[in-house]
Chain A
Amino acid sequence: QQQVKQSPQSLIVQKGGISIINCAYENTAFDYFPWYQQFPGKGPALLIAIRPDVSEKKEGRFTISFNKSAKQFSLHIMDSQPGDSATYFCAAYTGANSKLTFGKGITLSVRP
Chain B
Amino acid sequence: EAGVTQFPSHSVIEKGQTVTLRCDPISGHDNLYWYRRVMGKEIKFLLHFVKESKQDESGMPNNRFLAERTGGTYSTLKVQPAELEDSGVYFCASSQPDRITDTQYFGPGTRLTVL
Contact = CB atoms under 8 A, between A and B. Distances in A.
Interface string B88-115: 0001010001000111111111000000
B42 interface: yes
Contact of A95 (B33, B56, B102, B104): B102
Contact of A43 (B4, B31, B44, B103): B4
Contacts of A4: 42
Contacts of B107: 43
B101 A32 contact: yes
Nearest to B104: A100
Interface of B: 4, 31, 33, 35, 40-45, 48, 55-56, 59, 91, 93, 97, 101-109
Chain A to chain B: the 5 pairs with minimum beta-carbon distance, closest first: A43-B106, A99-B45, A102-B43, A102-B42, A104-B42
